[in-house]
């Protein structure tokens, strides 16, 4: 795809007319039209201005990008996912650059799993996923974002506002997942678990507008079930719920609050899981869905407040790889800070080794 066509695509996705873009960057509208029609070249200075105005990196206009991204872009029809698609593509480019120069960043993924075709197969896939993550059968998934890099999936979370919940891109080795950090922590974790399902069945590029939505297609519904089964394993949930409900003076609400904190899920996820396993009836499930955990609950029940995937979140192995590239002077401080998505300041970067005096003289003599 030429620069002109990429420019037209980016401008259209931003909702700008040719006249508006031209005015913003100090060009005539006819010049923008000629660039998009490939009858006039664009200078480097002009391209930088256009890229800044359209919130794209210059490389986006001149390098096609990862194969999965290019294929998805060609077939994309949902303009509502533009924000997450743009951010996900940006992150994938960064990860591929870092992985190319930092050996060992991405772990080997498990073998591709069969797509679940029934609720029972979703449960089986969840059990397999727990095994891949070295979790005991009933163990709560404390920090899913920390576990996933161990099987080759690097999770990120950024501010996306009112947009898609999450998206995943498969790389030649491993994958990248982006979660909307502006949703609640329980929903972020559910979205990440759902994306793990896409990763395990090897979907090359997916963006999920609403995880656990009522109108999801068959595969999405099966992966919703997979995500709930991963976070709320049936046998352990049944046992824990029975123990909580058997406590003297323990209300349904109290048990729900304890379960939500123990398994780090939101009430919508908990109520749906309890209902699909027929641990509670429809009326109880509706009551649980309406529960709001309060500061009083946290203090009285001595609960831990969870903040997993708070934006901006970058996986630790990726951060370590970027810092190693900076230490080896493979990248400059500006490039390192960009790769770290400005979660570091220049003062946070490690000190570089001093250049020996003899080596300095070898450069200038």
Helices assigned H by DSSP within 178-251: 185-200, 218-231, 234-245
Q: Which residue do the tokens 């001093």 mark?
A: 354
pLDDT of residue 119: 95
> What are 120's two structure tokens?
């029972």
pLDDT average, residue stretch 150-164: 92
| Predicted pLDDT of residue 161 | 86
Intra-chain end-to-end CA distance of the chain, in Å: 47
- pLDDT tens across 168-195, in order? 999 888 999 999 999 999 999 999 999 9
- The arithmetic mean of pLDDT across residues 207-230, rounded, is 81
Q: Is the pLDDT of residue 58 over 90?
A: no
Taking residues 261-289, report their average pLDDT.
96
Residue 360 scores a pLDDT above 60: no
Place of tokens 């194969």: 67
H or E element: which one contains 201?
none
Burial of 204 (0-12, 13-18, 19+ CB in 10 A): middle
pLDDT at position 355, please? 65
Going by C-alpha positions, the residue among 154, 113, 105, 104 that lies closest to residue 131 is: 113
Per-residue pLDDT of 322-337, as tens digits, reads 999 999 999 999 999 9
pLDDT at 309 over 50: yes
Neighbour tally for 54: CB within 10 Å: 21
Higher pLDDT, 1 or 5: 5
Q: Is 158 helix (H, G, I), strand (E, B) or coil?
A: strand
**Residue 269: predicted pLDDT:** 96
Structure confidence at residue 3 as a pLDDT band (50, 70, 90): confident
* pLDDT (mean) for 2-22: 86
Per-residue confidence (pLDDT) for residue 365, from 0 to 100: 47
Residue 260, Ramachandran bin (φ over 0: left; ψ between -120 and 50: alpha; else beta): alpha
Q: What number of CA atoms fall less than 13 Å from residue 165's CA on the CB side?
A: 20
pLDDT digits (tens, 9 = 90+) for 89-145: 889 989 999 999 998 999 999 999 999 999 999 999 999 999 999 999 889 999 999
- Mean of all residue pLDDT scores within the chain: 88
Pairing of strands 153-158, 205-208: unpaired
Omega before 312 within 30 of 0, i.e. cis: yes
Among 89, 196, 182, 76, smallest CA distance to 132 is for: 196
How many beta carbons lie within 10 A of that of residue 137, not counting itself? 11
Question: What pLDDT is attached to residue 325?
Answer: 95
At 293, list the tokens. Answer: 């955990």
Q: What is the DSSP letter of 328?
A: T
Task: Give the pLDDT of residue 356.
Answer: 67
pLDDT exceeds 80 at position 362: no
- With pLDDT > 90 as the criterion, what percentage of the chain qualifies? 60
* Choice between 255 and 7, residue whose per-residue pLDDT is larger: 255
Contact 201, 226 (CB under 8 A): no
Confidence of residue 213 (pLDDT cuts 50, 70, 90): low
Instruction: Please report which confidence band the pLDDT of residue 149 belongs to, taking 50, 70 and 90 as the band edges.
Output: very high
Distance of CA 217 to the CA centre of its chain: 21
């Amino acid at each position: 795809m030429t620069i002109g066509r990429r420019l037209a695509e980016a401008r259209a996705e931003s909702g700008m007319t040719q006249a508006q873009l031209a005015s913003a960057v100090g060009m005539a509208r006819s010049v923008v039209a000629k660039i998009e029609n490939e009858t006039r070249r664009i200078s480097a200075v002009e391209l930088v201005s256009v890229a800044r105005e359209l919130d794209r990196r210059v490389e986006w206009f001149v390098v096609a990008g990862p194969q999965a991204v290019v294929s998805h872009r060609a077939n994309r029809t949902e303009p509502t996912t533009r924000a997450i698609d743009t951010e996900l593509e940006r992150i994938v480019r960064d990860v591929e650059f870092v992985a190319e120069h930092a050996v060992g960043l991405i772990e080997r993924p498990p073998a591709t799993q069969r797509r679940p075709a029934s609720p029972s197969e979703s449960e089986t896939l969840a059990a397999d996923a727990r095994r891949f993550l070295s979790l005991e059968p009933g163990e709560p998934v404390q920090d899913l974002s920390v576990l996933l890099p161990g099987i080759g999936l690097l999770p990120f979370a950024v501010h996306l506002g009112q947009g898609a919940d999450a998206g995943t891109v498969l790389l030649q080795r491993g994958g990248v997942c982006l979660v909307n950090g502006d949703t609640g922590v329980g929903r972020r974790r559910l979205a990440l678990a759902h994306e793990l399902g896409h990763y395990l069945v090897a979907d090359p590029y997916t963006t999920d507008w609403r995880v656990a939505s009522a109108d999801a297609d068959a595969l999405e519904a099966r992966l919703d079930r997979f995500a709930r089964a991963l976070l709320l394993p049936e046998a352990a949930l049944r046992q824990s719920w029975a123990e909580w409900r058997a406590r003297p003076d323990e209300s349904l609400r109290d048990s729900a609050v304890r379960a939500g904190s123990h398994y780090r899920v939101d009430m919508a996820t908990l109520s749906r899981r309890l209902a699909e396993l027929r641990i509670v009836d429809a009326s109880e499930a509706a009551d649980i869905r309406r529960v709001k955990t309060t500061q009083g609950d946290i203090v009285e029940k001595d609960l831990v407040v969870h903040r997993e995937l708070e934006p901006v979140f970058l996986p630790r192995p990726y951060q370590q790889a970027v810092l190693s590239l900076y230490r080896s002077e493979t990248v400059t401080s500006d490039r390192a800070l960009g790769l770290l998505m400005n979660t570091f300041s220049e003062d946070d970067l490690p000190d570089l080794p001093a250049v020996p005096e003899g080596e300095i003289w070898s450069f200038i003599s």
